[in-house]
Structure 1
Amino acid sequence: MVTFITRPLTAIILFFVMIPALAANLQSRVDRQQMGSGETIELTVSLDKQVLFGEPDFSSVEKNFDIVGRNRRSRISFVNGEKQSYTQWILTLSPKRAGTLVIPSFNFKGEVSDALEIKVRKPTATTDPGAAVFTESILEKNSVYVQEQALLTLRLYTTLSLSNFSMSEISIPNAQVVKLAEEQYQKQIAGIDYIVVETRLAIFVDNSGEVSIPSVRYSGIASERSNPYGSIWSRRGGKRLAVNTEEKVLSVKPRAAHATMNDWLPAREVKLYDRWSEGKPTLTVGEPVTRTIALSAAGLTGAQLPPFSSNESVDRSEGFKVYDDQPQLEDKIGVQGITGTRVESMAIVPTQAGTLTLPEIRVQWWDTVNDQLRETVLASTSFEVLPSADITASQPGLPAAALTQENPATTPLSGSIAPAENSWLVIILAVTNGILILITAVFAVLWWRGRQLNDYGAETANKQALTGNKLFKEIRVAAASTNYSALREAIIQWARSHWRDQHIHTLEQIASQVNGIDLKPQFQQLDACLYDKHNGAITPPDLVTLVDQLEKIHKTTFPDDPLAGNNHSGKKQKTQELLPLYPE
């Protein structure tokens, strides 16, 4: 009987002894399990022993809560000779949304805590002007068109000093939200001094319908301000505070039914203007000039503005080439929101003299102030294109004195010659001698002029050869240094010498002079390198091919070009060719 009683008693004693060992050492608790959306709760995670290093992994908490504060404390004590210790981690949590949110369990040093459920009520806007802290939310217009700018102003009024101040972001599906400005100032309401934090936002909605603009949460640690006009960011101890703005509903209308333009541009004002690199320039064949056109729209971003230049119209005009630069987009922020600007630049290169007419540019847009269709026009403009300056300089001027026609010279006799009375022989001899002298003089003059012409021809040919060779050498030097501007000019100067045509002033004209060799692809690449920075490129192999092709053309006129490897001078060869004309 004694044995029967002893066994249950032993089991009971062992059970009570093991209870502390079975109890969870890692525990989680909160100060309350129901809260408002803008409030905070305090989570305490405890372990019944001292921890010198490390802590539980709290990253899983951030799925539903923001961790806005952290603290840690530990304690060691002796009670009735027994050592007692614990470590606590204290987190201040702010819910990310309303509803039932879960604080997950934690695993630390082999111990596991329990998960907790927190019920979060929907946010309530604090808009009472008599409160120590309240908010204000204002939409400039309750109804806008698709892609039209909607201005939202948010204000926080406070009589308290705030530290660790923050403001939540606004996120709206299918919409772009741009922060325009944030400022702080003082304002007195009903005899109470407030610090005001004002934030202005621009909202561009892509789809029509009713759009909900969510509330914004302001949070911080609040305390009474000793100075009513001091900064609200003063760092003093106090209670965590969170307030919300009022939710707004924005009505977004679809594109106006009778708006016929291709690009939908809802704006308050649209401007279109141009400028030139040299004022209003005088255009010259072969010389590029840059035209810059700017389109600005009040109430739109630069990214919303479409391409607008008239380059296609210019390209279809004969005698001109156009090279586009990359467009530049810019947004300026002002009192009435965003003013977007799109800037397009183009290099215009005339290829022939005459009249260049740039067509007008029209931009249609929707006037959101007067709710009607409008059109902004940049008027057409015309220019007279002058011939190349090199052509004008090469025209010879009038000689100082006009050349007179050569006539046979006659000299009047100063007196009469009395023939010999008795000698006709004297007369015959005189006449014969005169004729012989005249014939001899004529032949002498003809011989002298022929010699001069031959010498002049040889000298001229030699000078032309030397000039052509020198100009072609400049082509090689410019190509080797990849100086595209100098290369283009050297090719034009060489071509004028080669074809003896001072009216050549473009690479296109040179290409048309050549038979059997297609120079147009390389010439177009060379022009693109000069005037189209983003799309133009001529590779080194193409550059070598171009110079080789020009050298073949050069040799047809100057086969003894020393640049091509012949060491004989042109003058020596010409002299050898002329020797047979003058036999010994």
Structure 2
Amino acid sequence: MVRAVNLLVVLLMLISGLANADVTEVTATVDRNPVTANESFVLTVTVNDDVSNNTFEASKLLEDFVVGRTSVSRQTSMVNGNLSKQTRFTTVLIPQSPGEYTIPEITIKGVSSKPINLRVLEQGSDSNTEQRIAFIEAQIDSTNVYFQQPITYVARLFLAADLNKGNLVPPQVDNADVQQIGRDEESTQMVNGRRYKVYQRVYQITPNKSGSITIPGARFDGEVFTQGQRSIFSSFSNTQPVSAIAEGIDVNVQPVPDSWTGHWLPSELVSLSASISPEQEEYKAGEPITLSYMLTAVGVKPEQLPEIAPDFPSSFRVYPDNDETDSFTRNGVVISQKTVSFALVPEQAGNLTIPEFELPWFNTKTEQRTLAKTESMTLPVIMPAGMTQSDITEAAPTDSRPDSESIETTNTSERPNSNTVAPKPLVPIWVIGALAVGLAISLLLNLYLLIKRNSVKRQEKTVKPESADNLNRSKSWQDFQKACKNNDAKAAQESLINWAHTHLDGSFKSLADIAKYLNIEDEITPLQASLYNVGGSQWTEGKVLYQKVRKQVDNLNVKRQHSNLPQLYPS
């Protein structure tokens, strides 16, 4: 115990004496010379004392280079009873142009290092490739594009050492949108006899301004493990900082052609399709039909898609139904989609035609105006049993005002001549008045009874609150519950529509109608995406949808029961 205390006292005395030591030596070294433009090298500044981190600020001294982060490490050692300390500053530097450079002397607490003459070679020079730990290659699919035409930028990071941590920064482009596409890819590759691990990342760059632009190179900052073994007595890390920058790329962005009219949509491929739901051999006048348009464009953002607003013939009443926009990635390419639905109500019988619909777009491959269009569709429409054309016409809002000329003519013809003598009535005036009063009372009574009867019918047609037992006994509800449990998107759609058609007064014929009525748009969206999107992913939200629908139905039943209660203070 006494020996341990004495040893501790000696160590404290040595440390106290070292604290009063002064800086007597500052050295600066680089890990290699010459170096390559746009590739990093490491500057190490060593001080034979314990100094604070802010005594060396690389960014103020090295303006000819891109300065990466500076790491600081300290080491304490004892040799033959002599205690010594060192502080080591490690900074990553990246030269951007070839040439001859000088790293100036670095002064810390009055002691300066020697300057370093540095030679920077052009990128791609073979004389220095064997020493490269990291470098980035970048390429784009085209250097001549049109306004808002997407550019695919591929950055490939080569690392000759194991990665500890790092960050690949995308190119910072003025007047352009930059977003990553897909996931990173990893591989290995031999370069000049040295094995590299390759990390590939793809970006989509959309220019928002025409003219010449420069895409700065993507940049990597990180740490790799060194090959030497770390001593248990050393506080220096066994990692080495490393950075790299890809070469900048010049791009010419052409403006929208002067002859272009309409919405500007540059793309490699655009398709437009239309579908009818339900698909039947014939349709009935007065019953709604869902017509959906799907617009798909390759390589564009969803907000670049135009509006879908076809012109429909007067033989249909048209109501907007649903509007959805989505995007996804396939094989490193962004694909955007817009789906717009309309509810069409045919107003007459016969073969009714929905005309073709066209959307212009600019083909970036052929540099030509192209049309995406649907084919015309002919729907056989029949008159429902027991109805006539006049019934369908009367159901639609019309202007039934009589012609003013006929009114004037009729009134003129029936107006008595002022020179003739009016004949005496055959029935006394008081009898006519009594009959008129009686007729008016009768008409009012009949009108009241008619209104009362219609009100009762409307109340009978209102959806009745359904108990939990009745709900669970419903075949369509059981099918919906089973479909959600199995994440069967098609079965869930059919069973939910069947249940709503039966239990919600028959006025709900689509998922969009049900979603709006039950306020479950967020839960319906994944189901619709799985059903209608090209290459849609597997639906996995069945449990969430079932729980939300059940909750909304229960809340709806509670509200209806409360609304059927008599008023507390009836008027």
Q: State the TM-score, normalized to the length of structure 1.
A: 0.50
Question: What displacement does 1:487 show?
Answer: 11
For the residue of structure 2 that corresponds to 1:327, the secondary structure is strand
Change (3 A) 1:126 1:24: farther
Instruction: State how 1:534-553 maps to structure 2 within 5 Å.
Output: none
Measured in 2, the distance between the counterparts of 1:324 and 1:129 equals 67
Say if 2:275 is the partner of 1:275.
yes
Change (3 A) 1:165 1:120: farther
CA contact (8 A) 2:146 2:254 kept: yes
In structure 2, what is the equivalent of residue 201 of structure 1? 203
Instruction: State how 1:133-532 maps to structure 2 within 5 Å.
Output: 133=132, 134-181=135-182, 182-188=184-190, 193-222=195-224, 237-258=238-259, 260-279=260-279, 282-310=282-310, 313-314=311-312, 317=314, 319-334=316-331, 337-350=333-346, 353=349, 355-388=351-384, 471-475=457-461
Measured in 1, the distance between the counterparts of 2:456 and 2:178 equals 65
Q: Which runs of 5+ in 2 are unaligned?
A: 1-19, 61-65, 104-116, 229-236, 389-449, 468-498, 508-512, 522-571
Change (3 A) 1:93 1:323: same
Measured in 2, the distance between the counterparts of 1:287 and 1:25 equals 95
1:135-158: CA deviation from partner (whole Å, max 9, x where unpaired): 432222221111112222222344
Corresponding letter in the other structure for 1:184: E
Measured in 2, the distance between the counterparts of 1:261 and 1:174 equals 24
Question: What displacement does 1:301 show?
Answer: 2.6
CA contact (8 A) 2:44 2:90 kept: yes
Match of 1:131 among 129, 132, 156: 129
Give aligned-pair identity as a percent.
Answer: 21
Change (3 A) 1:243 1:332: closer
Measured in 1, the distance between the counterparts of 2:169 and 2:341 equals 41
Change (3 A) 1:128 1:532: farther
Question: What displacement does 1:477 show?
Answer: 5.6
CA contact (8 A) 2:214 2:250 kept: yes
For the residue of structure 2 that corresponds to 1:131, the secondary structure is helix
Change (3 A) 1:88 1:343: same
CA contact (8 A) 2:68 2:221 kept: no
CA contact (8 A) 2:323 2:338 kept: no
Corresponding letter in the other structure for 1:384: P
Change (3 A) 1:528 1:242: closer
Corresponding letter in the other structure for 2:460: E
For the residue of structure 1 that corresponds to 2:323, the secondary structure is coil
CA contact (8 A) 2:272 2:372 kept: yes
Q: Which has the larger radius of gyration?
A: 1
For the residue of structure 1 that corresponds to 2:142, the secondary structure is coil
Change (3 A) 1:76 1:264: same
Question: What displacement does 1:100 show?
Answer: 13
Change (3 A) 1:210 1:75: same
Corresponding letter in the other structure for 2:365: V
In structure 1, what is the equivalent of residue 492 of structure 2? none
Q: State the TM-score, normalized to the length of structure 2.
A: 0.50
Question: What displacement does 1:360 show?
Answer: 1.7
Measured in 1, the distance between the counterparts of 2:252 and 2:456 equals 75
In structure 2, what is the equivalent of residue 431 of structure 1? none
CA contact (8 A) 1:127 1:135 kept: no
Q: Which runs of 5+ in 1 are unaligned?
A: 1-22, 102-118, 227-235, 393-463, 493-525, 535-584
Measured in 1, the distance between the counterparts of 2:252 and 2:163 equals 35
Question: What displacement does 1:320 show?
Answer: 1.1
For the residue of structure 2 that corresponds to 1:376, the secondary structure is strand
Aligned residues: 386
1:12-39: CA deviation from partner (whole Å, max 9, x where unpaired): xxxxxxxxxxx99999x99479998744
**How much is the aligned-residue C-alpha RMSD, in angstroms?**
6.0
Measured in 2, the distance between the counterparts of 1:167 and 1:39 equals 17
For the residue of structure 1 that corresponds to 2:162, the secondary structure is strand
Corresponding letter in the other structure for 1:381: M
For the residue of structure 1 that corresponds to 2:178, the secondary structure is strand
Corresponding letter in the other structure for 1:214: P
For the residue of structure 2 that corresponds to 1:261, the secondary structure is coil
Change (3 A) 1:48 1:465: closer
CA contact (8 A) 1:143 1:252 kept: yes
Change (3 A) 1:122 1:528: same
CA contact (8 A) 2:318 2:342 kept: no
CA contact (8 A) 1:302 1:330 kept: yes
Measured in 2, the distance between the counterparts of 1:43 and 1:287 equals 83
Corresponding letter in the other structure for 1:173: D
Measured in 2, the distance between the counterparts of 1:286 and 1:532 equals 27
Question: What displacement does 1:318 show?
Answer: 5.0
Question: What displacement does 1:175 show?
Answer: 0.8
Question: What displacement does 1:91 show?
Answer: 6.8
